[in-house]
């Protein structure tokens, strides 16, 4: 094979191996299972696998979504993740769930982004105003009720709010074992170390005193 043929072959090989990957999210696994060995400090794009002899049923089980979570914050919602941090058996499988509960009369899951996953929500109970914003700044929003489904594409800013006078809850599915959450207000106003007040004042076209007021009210992001 001469050099130019080798280059063409290489280009085709790269195309063949990378194009299908652009449709996937977390990479595919190369064995039956790889239960997260969370006690090992080193991570290689996920967790190392537990020794097979140490794998148990409980690595694949989680009861934490069965009941509504206590809502104890100023926005009126509670997210209960069922990801690889809670279910070690999810390591390398590319999926996870969360349950979100919303208080009546305005309970809000504030605008946030999942950098590693598309989210699909199924309403368990109640009714929600949901929406996401595209990179072209177009709002895609809808009021959805019990039994209905809505999708938030990977990486786009989205939110849900319960404006009804009774509680609401959803089950969310993600195509990542650990979708990650960037909550916009918390990221900008309660990061550690803090983002510069002047930068935030200029960004939002407000005064630094107003920035300080927002910072005093935004609770630090919980993991």
What residues make contact with ligand NAG under the rule CB under 6 A?
51, 53-54, 72-73
Give the nearest distance from C-beta 218 to ligand NAG in angstroms: 13
Structure tokens at 149: 């489904």
- Annotated binding-site residue? 162: no
Give the nearest distance from C-beta 20 to ligand NAG in angstroms: 34
User: Is residue 75 within 8 Å of 109, Cβ to Cβ?
Assistant: yes
Distance separating alpha carbons of residues 162 and 128, to the nearest angstrom: 5
Q: Which is nearer to ligand NAG, 101 or 119 (CB)?
A: 101
Of 87, 71, 90, nearest to 79 by C-alpha is 71
Give the nearest distance from C-beta 138 to ligand NAG in angstroms: 34
Q: Which is nearer to ligand NAG, 25 or 38 (CB)?
A: 38
Give the nearest distance from C-beta 72 to ligand NAG in angstroms: 4
Backbone angles phi, psi at 82, to 5 degrees: -125, 70
User: Is residue 149 within 8 Å of 120, Cβ to Cβ?
Assistant: yes
- Annotated binding-site residue? 109: yes
- Annotated binding-site residue? 114: yes
The residue number whose beta carbon is nearest to ligand NAG equals 51
Specify the 3-state DSSP secondary structure of 172.
strand
Give the nearest distance from C-beta 205 to ligand NAG in angstroms: 30
User: Is residue 121 within 8 Å of 152, Cβ to Cβ?
Assistant: yes
Q: Which is nearer to ligand NAG, 72 or 135 (CB)?
A: 72
Q: Which is nearer to ligand NAG, 47 or 150 (CB)?
A: 47
Beta-strand pair 149-152/107-113: unpaired
- Annotated binding-site residue? 213: no
- Annotated binding-site residue? 137: no
Neighbours of 47 (CB within 10 A): 23
User: Is residue 48 within 8 Å of 42, Cβ to Cβ?
Assistant: yes
Q: Which is nearer to ligand NAG, 73 or 203 (CB)?
A: 73
Distance separating alpha carbons of residues 154 and 175, to the nearest angstrom: 9
Annotated binding site for oxalate: 109, 114, 119
Annotated binding site: 109, 112, 114, 119, 158
Annotated binding site for Mn(2+): 112, 114, 119, 158
């Amino acid at each position: 094979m001469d050099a130019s043929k080798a280059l063409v072959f290489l280009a085709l090989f790269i195309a063949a191996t990378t194009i299908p990957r652009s449709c996937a999210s977390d990479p595919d696994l190369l064995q039956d299972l790889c239960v997260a060995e969370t006690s090992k400090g080193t991570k290689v794009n996920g967790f190392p696998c537990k020794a097979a002899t140490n794998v148990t049923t409980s690595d694949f089980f989680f009861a934490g979504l069965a009941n509504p979570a206590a809502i104890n914050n100023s926005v009126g919602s509670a997210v209960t993740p069922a990801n690889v941090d809670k279910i070690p058996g999810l390591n390398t499988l590319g999926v996870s769930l969360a349950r979100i509960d919303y208080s009546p009369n305005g309970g809000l899951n504030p605008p946030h982004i999942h950098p590693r996953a598309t989210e699909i929500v199924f309403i368990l109970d109640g009714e929600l105003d949901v929406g996401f914003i595209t990179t072209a700044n177009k709002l895609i929003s809808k009021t959805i009720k019990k039994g209905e489904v809505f999708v938030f594409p990977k990486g786009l800013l989205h939110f849900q709010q319960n404006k009804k006078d009774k509680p609401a809850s959803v089950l969310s599915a993600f195509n990542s074992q650990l979708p990650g959450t960037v909550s916009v207000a918390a990221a900008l106003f309660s990061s550690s170390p803090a983002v510069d007040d002047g930068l935030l004042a200029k960004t939002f076209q407000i005064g630094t005193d107003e920035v300080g007021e927002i910072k005093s009210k935004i609770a630090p992001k919980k993991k």
